[in-house]
Amino acid sequence: MADGFVSGISDADERAIIEAIDKWIVKKVAPVAMKLEHDDIWPSDLVDDMTELGLFGALISPEFGGLGLSATTYSRIVTRISEEWMSLTGIFNSHLMMATVVQKFGTQNQKEYWLPKFADGSMRGGLGLTEPDAGTDLQGIRTVAKRVGDKYVVNGTKTWISNAIQGHVVALLVKTDPEANPRHKGMSMLITPKIDPETRAPLKGVANGKKLEKLGYKGIDSGEFIFDDYECSAELSLVGGEEGKGFVMATGGLEIGRINIAARSVGIARRALNESVKYSQMRKTMGKPICEHQAIQLKLGEMAAKTRAAELLVEDAARLFDTGARIDMEAGMAKYFASETALEVATEAMRIHGGYGYSKEYPIERLYRDAPLMCIGEGTNEMQRIIIAKQLIARNKV
């Protein structure tokens, strides 16, 4: 059980959580999602609800106040919420990626200090890897943290960070030795709060810059982090207490991140399919519902088969993750296939809806705008195919 999350609660409790989330989606999310998305409003009431539902601690061990859900249950929750509004899952998932770094690699002291605050949502945050000049090539980052006595002094800029503005803290990938060769040996991970966790007073040396405007994925804030002689405690911030391990931490946390993106993609595809199945029975042309035209049936058949295949790939990756196995290939396959499926199914749903697919009164245009991000986040789909191929060769050496 090296890497997987071991569920800390019973099957019945997990079912109860999924049912509670289902009720919440119908009662609270569905009535407001469209308006909040179109107006790009951060959903503060829904964030309060998600805190109460325990979602900010979903993958954190019960020992530290979390729910300790398995990846299988977690991915089902993510899919279900994404059917209604995918952005909501980014608010707790990016946060849980940060928590996973501490849970998996932190010192006992760091786990005891940070994880309860992450689990109860009092310190929400995300993962700060990307910089203006480095996304896929993470080893090219320029943010530097210099050890000065018992502190680190941080300088540099991060961009595209989810929860940057509304969040309180970020797991930050930095260079502690910019001259290291190979480059990854000079990289470390720091937990860098924007506010003092005890007094909640803003800390000096860190600012957010501008909120980034996006095609979709609205509601959740994506922003910059600008560090200018920012100081943090080495003991509490340097994850694992040892420099040079940051690259492994950044990429090691991505397996659950990829399962999550794949699960979100299934939610988008499933909703686009369901809407299309409904609409095609109601809309009539040439005297019959369009679902009776073979051209539409061919689309529905392909959309349904691919959505189901994506669902099964996510289940497979999550189940394997829960055994503690190394699953770069399976998580990569799920992420790649499910995100391409989301994009394709959302596009086909728009064609089936004709002009109404383009209207803001229907959810299709929103799914169509949300889907492409799934192909970019947590490692682009170009990189996923390379990862799959490399694993395939490594596991089948001749």
Ligand X SMILES: Cc1cc2nc3c(=O)[nH]c(=O)nc-3n(C[C@H](O)[C@H](O)[C@H](O)COP(=O)(O)OP(=O)(O)OC[C@H]3O[C@@H](n4cnc5c(N)ncnc54)[C@H](O)[C@@H]3O)c2cc1C
Strands 125-128, 169-175: pairing is parallel
Considering beta carbons, is residue 92 or 279 the nearer one to ligand X? 92
Considering beta carbons, is residue 61 or 260 the nearer one to ligand X? 260
The CA distance from 264 to 145, in Å, is 34
The CA distance from 239 to 198, in Å, is 20
The token pair that represents 51 in the structure block: 């805190």
Residue 361: strand, helix, or coil: coil
Considering beta carbons, is residue 157 or 274 the nearer one to ligand X? 157
| CA distance to 100, 198, 336, per residue, from 117 (Å) | 13, 10, 33
Considering beta carbons, is residue 107 or 380 the nearer one to ligand X? 380
- What is the Cα gyration radius of the chain? 21
Q: Which of 57, 66, 126, 167 binds ligand X (CB under 6 A)?
A: 126
Q: How many other C-beta atoms lie within 10 A of the C-beta of residue 120?
A: 17
Cβ 259 to ligand X shortest distance, Å: 16
Binding mask 264-303 for ligand X (x = CB under 6 A): ----------------------------------------
Q: Is 380 in the site for ligand X (CB under 6 A)?
A: yes
Longest CA span, the chain: 79
Cβ 375 to ligand X shortest distance, Å: 9
Pick the closest to residue 173 from 125, 239, 230, 232 (CA basis): 239
Task: Considering only residues 181 through 240, tell me which ones interact with ligand X, judged by CB under 6 A.
Answer: 214, 217, 222
Q: Is 383 in the site for ligand X (CB under 6 A)?
A: yes
The CA distance from 254 to 243, in Å, is 20
Q: Is 176 in the site for ligand X (CB under 6 A)?
A: no
The CA distance from 188 to 168, in Å, is 20
Based on the residue annotation, tell me whether 378 is a catalytic residue of this protein: yes
The token pair that represents 165 in the structure block: 């503005």
Residues in contact with ligand X, counted by CB under 6 A, come to a total of 20
The CA distance from 347 to 343, in Å, is 6
Cβ 119 to ligand X shortest distance, Å: 20
Considering beta carbons, is residue 73 or 222 the nearer one to ligand X? 222
Cβ 360 to ligand X shortest distance, Å: 20
Q: Is 336 in the site for ligand X (CB under 6 A)?
A: no
Q: Is 130 in the site for ligand X (CB under 6 A)?
A: yes
The set of catalytic residues is 378
Which residues in this chain contact ligand X in the complex, by CB under 6 A?
Answer: 94, 126-130, 135-136, 160-162, 214, 217, 222, 373, 376-377, 380, 382-383
